[in-house]
Amino acid sequence: MRRSLLWSIAISAGFLISNIDAAETNNQSKNQLVLGKPGLEASYEVQSRDQLPDSNIESVTLQLGVTVENDGKSCQWLSLKGKKASGGTFQVWILTSSYPSKDIAEAQSATARYILQEGTERPIEFRHSATGEAVLPFSGAWEYLFPHAISQTDSGIFPKSVEYLGFTYSLKQIQEGKPAALPSDPLQIELRADALIGVPHNTKQLDQTRRYDESDYELIPLTKDDYEAMITAGMNCLRLNQEDTKRLMNRNVYFWGIGGADILYPEWLYRSNYIGPALFHDEPAVCTRDHVVRPRFKEKPDTRKSVTPQSVLKDFQEYYHHVNAEKAPVALQKGLDARPDVNPGTMQIRQQNLYSWETMVATAAHQLSEQVDGPPAAIVFEPPGRIGTRRTLPEMNMAYGCQIAIDEPTNFIDIIYGFLRGAARLTGKKWGMSVYGSVDRADAPWFMTHAYDVGGQYFFFWDSYKLACVPFNECLKLTTNLRQHIENCPIRDLEQLKKSAEIAILLPPGYTLGHVHMGRGNLWGLGELNLERKNAEGRTYREVMGNFFTEIERALRLGISFDLLWDLKDMDLQGYREVIRVLENGKVEIKSEDGKVTVLDGARIPQRPGGEPPELAVEITPAKIKAGATVVARAELTDTTAPTFYTVATDEDGIYRDVKILWELYGPEEEDYRFLLDGFYHPKVQINGDKSIVEADFEITEPGRYRLRAAACDLAGRTTVVWKEFEVEK
């Protein structure tokens, strides 16, 4: 249980008020005595002074200031002044309705103003740029930044023995005096912790021309003018080196990248705009697949047959626990531990303000709930390659058998945001989104403003590596658009937005939307977990995912807002009027708010608009196929009620080509899967009015039985699928 040092004048230790005249006490209103008599001051000295490093605090003084009515609440100024072993000093002033709690959420709620002075520098006040509310530091060190009683029986605002910055300090003196004057003209740093915007690096592209040919950019350091352009556009979360930090740390920005080995200690721990040495976990689910599962497949090929969504989930849980316990969250502490001029004592700082930058959004609820009181603070969507409404939704329709109109960006991105918002609601944490270079450029601006409107608080760009890179000037333009939108709508009720979903649709843990080719949905982005494989209940993954997406389609058609979650244990799902569980046995369980449970044989198919799906016929040549041969698949596609459309990605000129058909090859074993359009940017398509001839050729190297799946989707989401089976001889 966290100790709260709320001080009650009626029961506090007698020495605190021994010199206060009883009549004067009676004249003080109840609201005036929030903490104690203004001017009351206590001095503490560290118990172990031998060989105390220069940057450590040898003595700390607390003084009670004047009382203030703030927004109908009685608050009082409290100042803290620390003296280092080297002789340097710093000071903090906090206007609060209670002594600062170790719990930063409680402390933030109680705090009206917060001011820091580093040495003799100009004091700095940290405020929210839209509301004017105080902004407290949230790097993870907060619980150590104010003295707290060691013993719960050591009551009073000034206990006899306290813990502070990892050491024990003893009370040396309490005296009364005149409350010290507050800083008269503090520098105002205005921050938006609820709308962080930035990039992960401090470089930009030498040539910012878009590259669509998989070549890489040459990167150069950001200049002073570049940073000014970023701040002007609206970026407020910057990665800085030491030199740039000195110049920009007092601007209206958050900064990160400087570790515990190099910060000004302990002052930067009190800085509300210092984030820490790191900002995010980088794709823990993808890393699990690429650095744990795939290497195992190579080492032990038989595991390709035995792999299941649940086995990969177990691998992910182990990998993620290690990352969250041993990597970025402890980097700040490790940096402090290595310093000769700092002794952290008993402090164990875990950087709380990290987010997880993740493509596989189905993992969001697990990632945020693994440590409810620890990092990460948020989940941020990292878009996989080639993502876009008109590219991804057709694949979802063709993969899962749903019928979602592909000309409405809400239909796609609300699926992604449903996972993020659901995880944030479940854990009380935050969520956000990012833009990568391969995101459809028509979608990107609206994806950002829509995320803001529905409660997103993180907005980032990837700024390096081939097609993943968003060139610097494009980042500025997108940021400017978002900033203007935020300025038009500066105030949001984030708690209400977090709870805006009416229903929750639950997916079995371990089932995901895939990775780079998200729409096709191979679980965890593994061909070995293709949708034609069967689970332990004898149902294909396609059937389970189809039920999930059909319930999503139903909600979209009815205008019902939804959250999407893994069906984890011990989830508090109160507040949803309906909880829909998609089960591995092919059934769907629906639990209403009144507790009534209904189990259906499948998803509820919504009323869909009339019209005919595309007509599709497929032939394969040659008739007899031997291993090593090239197979040609030829499709005749006829548009009916609505035109068909499906694109894979841009070609090397940045043009989206309509490839018409989704070609997939299954076999010869159930774990074998090939997407036949990889690198297929120049489709073999002949279009004549509403009819198209589409060809795909591919080489077969192994004998066995294969199944070719061809699918086409029109703009209304109607899909036609044709299967062709064939045998390959030795």
Q: What is the pLDDT of residue 11?
A: 28
- Six-digit token string for 169: 């300090």
Q: Please calculate the CA angle 371-377-381 and round it to the nearest 5 degrees.
A: 110
Phi and psi at residue 474, in whole multiples of 5°?
A: -70, -40
In this structure, the chain runs to a length of 730
Cα 695 to the center of its chain, rounded Å: 41
pLDDT of residue 13: 33
Whether the Cβ atoms of residue 15 and residue 36 lie closer than 8 Å to each other: no
Q: For residues 170 and 49, is the Cβ–Cβ distance under 8 A?
A: no
CA atoms within 13 A on the CB side of 682: 2
Q: What distance in Å separates the CA atoms of residue 571 and residue 548, rounded to the nearest whole number?
A: 19
**Residue 680 — pLDDT band, cuts 50, 70, 90?**
low
Q: What is the mean pLDDT of residues 49-57?
A: 90
Residue 552 neighbours by CB distance under 10 Å: 23
User: Which amino acid, residue 242?
Assistant: Q
Residue with tokens 């998200």: 518
Of 62-71, 217-226, 587-596, 681-690, the one with minimum mean pLDDT is 681-690
Helix (H) or strand (E) holding 625: strand 625-626
- Residue 23 has a pLDDT of 33
Structure confidence by residue, pLDDT tens digits, 629-663: 999 999 999 999 999 999 988 888 899 999 999 99
Rg, C-alpha atoms of the chain? 30
Give mean pLDDT, residues 483-499. 97
Q: Which amino acid is at 488?
A: N
3-state secondary structure of 489: coil
The dihedral built from the CA positions of residue 313, 315, 320 and 325, taken in this order, carries a sign that is: positive
Helix axes 472-488, 224-233, angle to 10 degrees: 30
Q: Average pLDDT in the 276-292 region?
A: 97
Distances (CA, A) of 262 to 22, 85, 89, 341, 468: 51, 18, 18, 11, 31
Per-chain mean pLDDT for the chain: 93
Rounded mean pLDDT, 482-499: 97
Whether residue 18 is predicted with pLDDT greater than 80 in this model: the reply is no
Q: What percent of the chain has pLDDT over 70?
A: 95
Alpha-carbon distances, residue 160 vs 7, 165, 618 (angstroms): 14, 16, 85
* pLDDT attached to residue 415: 98
Q: Note the pLDDT of residue 681.
A: 66
Output the pLDDT for position 152. Answer: 84
Distance CA 571, CA 557 (A): 27
pLDDT at 154: 83
Structure tokens given for 414: 């609300």
**pLDDT band at residue 6 using 50, 70 and 90 as cut-offs:** very low
The CA-atom distances, in angstroms, between 689 and each of 390, 534, 614, 615 are 21, 40, 14, 14
Q: Which residues pair with 148 in a beta bridge?
A: 163
Q: 277-293 b/e with 16+ CB inside 10 Å = b?
A: bbbbbbbbbbbbbeeeb
Residue 585 pLDDT greater than 90, yes or no: yes
Those residues whose C-beta lies under 8 Å from the C-beta of residue 484, and which sit 6 or more positions away, are none
Does residue 30 carry a pLDDT above 70?
Answer: no
pLDDT in tens, 236-271: 999 999 999 999 999 999 999 999 999 999 999 999
Q: What percent of the chain has pLDDT over 90?
A: 88
CA-CA distance, 358 to 423, in Å (whole number)?
13
Q: Token pair for residue 671? A: 């774990």
Give the residue carrying structure tokens 């001051």: 41
d(CA 529, CA 514): 10
Compute the distance between CA of residue 597 and CA of residue 578 in angstroms, rounded to an integer. Answer: 10
> Mean pLDDT, to the nearest integer, of 270-289?
98
> What is the rounded CA–CA span in Å between residue 618 and residue 408?
30
Q: How confident is the model at residue 589 (pLDDT cuts 50, 70, 90)?
A: very high
Residue-wise pLDDT tens digits, 599-617: 999 999 999 999 999 999 9
**Distance (Å, whole) CA 197 – CA 513:** 26
**Residue among 73, 139, 130, 132 at smallest CA distance from 104:** 139
Q: What is the mean pLDDT of residues 147-153?
A: 92
pLDDT tens per residue across span 407-448: 899 999 999 999 999 999 999 999 999 999 999 999 999 999
Q: Are 564 and 422 in contact (CB under 8 A)?
A: yes
Quickly state the pLDDT bin for 683 (edges 50, 70, 90).
confident
In which element (H, E) is residue 275 found?
A: strand 274-276
C-alpha separations of 197 from 80, 372, 383, 486 in Å: 32, 24, 16, 11
Q: What is the pLDDT of residue 31?
A: 47
Helix (H) or strand (E) holding 190: strand 187-191
Provide the 8-state DSSP code for 376. -
Closest CA to 526 of 538, 536, 517: 517
pLDDT above 50: residue 17: no
Write the single-letter amino acid at 40.
L
Q: What is the pLDDT of residue 678?
A: 73
Q: What pLDDT, on a 0 to 100 scale, did the predictor assign at position 27? A: 35
Segment 361-373 mean pLDDT: 95
Q: Which of the pair, 179 or 29, is modelled with greater confidence?
A: 179
Q: Residue 224: how many CB atoms within 10 A of its CB?
A: 10
For the beta carbon of residue 537, count every other beta carbon within 10 angstroms.
Answer: 13
- Would you say residue 9 has pLDDT above 50? no
Q: What is the pLDDT of residue 19?
A: 31
Tell me which of 9-23, 72-86, 180-194, 501-515 is least confident: 9-23
Read off the pLDDT of residues 324-351 as tens digits, 9 standing for 90 and up.
999 999 999 999 999 999 999 999 999 9
Question: Reduced to 3 states, what is the DSSP secondary structure of residue 585?
Answer: coil
pLDDT confidence band for 81 (50 / 70 / 90): very high
